[in-house]
Structure 1
Amino acid sequence: MTSTTITPAASTDEQAVRRKRLSRPVAFAAIAAVFVTFTAASSAPSPLYVVYQELWGFSASTLTAVFAVYVVGLIAALLVLGALSDHIGRRPVLGAAIALEIVALVLFLAAGDVPVLLVARFLQGIATGAALTTLGAALVDLNPPHAPGRAGLLNSVVPPAGLAIGSLGTGALVQFAPGPTHLVYALLLVGMALAAVVVLLMPETSSRRPGGRSSLIPKLGVPARLRGAVLALVPIIVASWALGGLYLALGPSVAVGVFGLSNHLIGGLVVTLLCGTGAVTAFALRTWPTPRVLTIAGALLTVGTAVTLAGVLTESVVLGAVGTVLAGIGFGASALASFGTIALLAAPHERGELFAVALTIAYVAFSLPAVIAGFAATSVGLHTTAVVYSTVVVVLGVAALAAQRLRRT
């Protein structure tokens, strides 16, 4: 008797909740906006590193440690949590990631010394790693049937676009607004609160299936049928994200130490020139054949980095800016070809794990060389470090072009 009175009520409540859910087209757009918010938050501290150095008087090695702990948290999350949403659903993982990001942003607001900054950046890395793979997979799940490549395009465009928005926005706020180490985090907290509402109202796109606990065991798996396609993308992913790591970790410092540009807006613009150009390029080339896009990526990463290197050697701001824009075109073309290909290849139950594989490769390339460069900058100087790092990226770009040619033949 009791069950007959509770069941209809529960059923009615469940139906009411379902009616409040966002439609799939609205959810697709909202998840894209959440994706931008997370990537913008991840790059927001970059222009502030110079400010923190001035306030607290720490070395380039300490700055590198702050960058490194973020990447350690991010890669750990990719390895451990990358496939979790394939088993327990997208909404629970996104909800947890947003909650942890909010904790990190509160710590950024309260930070008065390096240890708190380190903890905040580490927690932000975990939150970002958990969110990126899940957001990418959710976009593919919600992809409109009439535009099968749209999710792949957004997975290519959003990361560089978000990085550009976060860096430029923070640079502008630091230069022109009050509270340079607080205002940006307060604004991001508002963004994360809105993201929580989106996740609360979005439809669940991944049904629960067994294996959630075992998926937490770190592993990188690529289905046998996809290994050839994924391996062919590795060289260009490594080349492009290694360059991105240099810009996000040391770009504003190079602008000050090598080119003598002390304006904080310009410090943010350094990252934006690379990432913003990359986002525009990914959108502009969205209909081009993948082999052609890969060739453009390898060629312009190589040429652009070489021109930037010439700018560093001659201390020419113009050459440095032109080279960064050219390299940014290569960066965007690489993101389009690699993540767009993965979005189209992966089956629904493979999406979270496959995006985790691709992002792990990207962020290892993004972080390890940049961390080494940061410690090197303390001992040999920013100028020498930038020259050596740029030379390595040029070599990687040539290797990516060679790998593509071998794959085609």
Structure 2
Amino acid sequence: MLMFVFAPDIGWVIAARTIQGIATGAATSAFSASVVEHAPQRHKKLGTIITSIAPAGGLGLGALLTGAAVQFSSQATAIVFTALAVIMVVGTAVAAFSAETVARRPEAARTLIPRVSIPRAARGEFLASIPVHMAAWMLAGLFMGLVPTIIRDLLGLHSGLLNGATAFVEPAAAAVGGLFLGRLTARRTIFVGGVGVLLGTAVIEAGVATGMLSLLWVGGIIGGVGFGASFSGAIRTIAPLAQPHQRAGLFASIYLVAYLSFGVPAVIAGLLIAPVGLRGTVLGYGVAVLVAATVGLVAQYRVNARS
């Protein structure tokens, strides 16, 4: 975060983003496992829901507050990243004083090496969840990565607050959807979420095609609820299949798929804007999300039929 504050050029920004990305990937799986393991036995379900909605909620709040900072301050960069640095210090302190949930083993330093692992008992569910994660996080990448450009270049609107508010809609709806649809069974939550991603993406595509901001917002809300529901349901399905000492590696595998789906398609889309055009790129991106969501629903149906 401090590198972002003092970065003198784009090279430093890229370096800071690389370090921050590695740190996020390394910490998220351990934090997720810790939340589930520290949750009281009667609240394990709530623990898995929290781990699934926290990333989306954080993305949404970050986008909204950043947009407000850009709109109302000339020192937005310093404000945003200094605030994040303070939050990280507090979070690190809390983590440092939290009790360990598994027994310490010899050669503890080796446990600091990042690992992904999928317990045998969870492999079937994990494989069936891959297209679900891909669709949900690709949609999030579309909103966080391309919607500000859509608002500026396709709609001709120039407002930091509007950009932040629009980017906030989808992940905020994801957090709310993941929380309130948690009352459904995990499998049903995935199905509802997958349908939400399909419908939301279709509405967003219509908004891009017609240049209507209202459709982007409506599609973001519907798709966001679908994102939160499908991701939450998938984690609730998979997490109980791992033993406590296996959960960090399993969550690392889940977030590896999630973050690759969040970042890589958005980068590819950015490269395609020049030769294909912004509208064509976004419409093609939406088709890819629709395909992934459809494959995910079919995979979940087959797994459910076998169980």
Q: 1:297 aligns with which of 193, 200, 219?
A: 193
Rg larger in structure = 1
Q: Is 1:125 aligned to residue 21 of structure 2? A: yes
Distance 1:117 1:187 in 2: 17
1:399 aligns with 2:295: yes
Q: Helix, strand or coil for the counterpart of 2:43?
A: coil
Separation in structure 1 between the aligned mates of residue 151 and residue 107 of structure 2, nearest angstrom: 48
Q: How many residues get paired?
A: 305
Distance in 1 (alpha carbons) for counterparts of 2:86 and 2:300: 44
Per-residue CA deviations over 1:315-371 (Å, capped at 9, x if unaligned) read 111112111111111101112111222332221110110001111111121222111
State whether residues 311 and 320 of structure 1, in contact with CA within 8 Å, keep that contact through their aligned partners in structure 2: yes
Alignment of 1:288-367 (within 5 A): 288-367=184-263
- Listed as ranges, the matches of 1:6-405 within 5 Å are 105-210=1-106, 212=108, 220-405=116-301
- 8 Å contact kept, 1:155–1:340: no
Cα distance in 2 between the residues matched to 1:375 and 1:403: 31
Stretches of structure 1 that go unaligned for 5 or more consecutive residues are 1-104
Q: Please give the root-mean-square deviation of Cα atoms over the aligned residues, in Å.
A: 1.8
- Percentage of pairs with the same residue: 36
TM-score (norm: length of structure 2): 0.94
Q: Is the 8 A contact 2:68 2:160 kept in 1?
A: yes
- Deviant stretches of 4+, over 3 Å: 210-220
Distance in 2 (alpha carbons) for counterparts of 1:221 and 1:196 = 25
Mapped contact 1:304–1:327 kept (Cα < 8 A):
yes
SS in 2 for 1:358: helix
What amino acid maps onto 2:68 in structure 1? A
Task: Please give the secondary structure, in 1, of the residue aligned with 2:117.
Answer: coil
Q: What's the TM-score, normalizing by structure 1?
A: 0.71
Equivalent position amino acid for 1:255 in 2: I
Any gaps of 5 or more consecutive residues in structure 2? none
* Aligned mates of 2:156, 2:236 — CA distance in 1: 38
Q: Counterparts of 2:34 and 2:280 in 1: how far apart (Å)?
A: 43
Query: Is contact 2:128-2:299 (8 Å) kept?
Result: yes
Shift in Å, 1:120:
0.7
Counterpart of 1:150, as a letter, is: L
Contact 2:121 2:242 in 1 (8 A): no
Give 1:210 shift.
4.0
**Structure 1 residue 249 displacement after superposition:** 2.1
Q: Which amino acid aligns with 2:62?
A: G
Q: Cα offset for 1:215?
A: 5.6
Q: Distance in 1 between matches of 2:75 and 2:113?
A: 42
Structure 2 residue identity aligned to 1:358: I
Q: 1:108 to 1:219 in 2, by over 3 A?
A: closer
Shift of 1:213: 5.8
**Structure 1 residues 125, 377: CA separation in 2 closer, same or farther (over 3 Å shift)?**
same
Q: Cα offset for 1:307? A: 0.9
Q: CA deviation at 1:265?
A: 1.2
